[in-house]
Structure 1
Amino acid sequence: MADYTPVYTNGNKPMTKTASAAITGGQIVAASGVSTVAPAGAASTAVVGVAAHDAANGARVTVWPLTNVEHEVTVVAAGTVTAGDGVVTGASGTAATAAVATAAAAGTLIGTATTTATAPNKVRFIGRG
């Protein structure tokens, strides 16, 4: 079981949702229905936060919110994220890089990278709501 805790929570508390697919702790998750979440797809506009633990389809899962929380998640396969880059979702609940203005205009910007990493390593980012 993969447990996940953000680097810095800024006093934010996690929420509980129902998994609508298998989730691994540390994956970025997106709203998939009424009070349900699933691993976020590439460039998702429905990101809710980061899963705190593994959860099977139909199970309850704890989710850390994005806003003002520093997360550390896996970079999308064959990708690189550099400190200061905009962060969007990659495939299967991972992180990818994007131009801040472009991603913000598209509604896919989830944060700003605070470290640099290449796949399959983890990058830190400060989440935006």
Structure 2
Amino acid sequence: MKKYTKTHEWIDTETGKVGVSNYAQEQLGDIVYVELPAVGKEVKKGERIVSLESVKAAGDVYAPVSGKIVAVNDKVNATPELINQDPEGEGWLVQIEMSNPAELDELLTEDEYKATL
């Protein structure tokens, strides 16, 4: 199941994979550059973890939960357009090992998220 933030990130509640919503990638346009964090980095909920650059804007991606970065999607470094093509699938950005799974309760369901758009 996915949960969402008001700042357009999603997290898979089972795997801890994080990415940007379809709405976010549409707003950014064609993504041309991704800056991913180092594996092993400890992050706090709300902290900037990824920078995205598109042909029309730059955007930051924030940690939806606290924890440790246990994986990054190297495919998006080589092929940033994956984020545009499949933002909630193959275009995932990082995987977080959650230190406080209760933080998931503060996030939005898909229906709640869509209601904010």
- The answer to whether TM tops 0.5 is no
Bigger helix share: 2
TM-score, reference length from structure 2: 0.30
TM-score, reference length from structure 1: 0.28
Larger RCO, structures 1/2 (Cα 8 Å, 6+ apart): 2
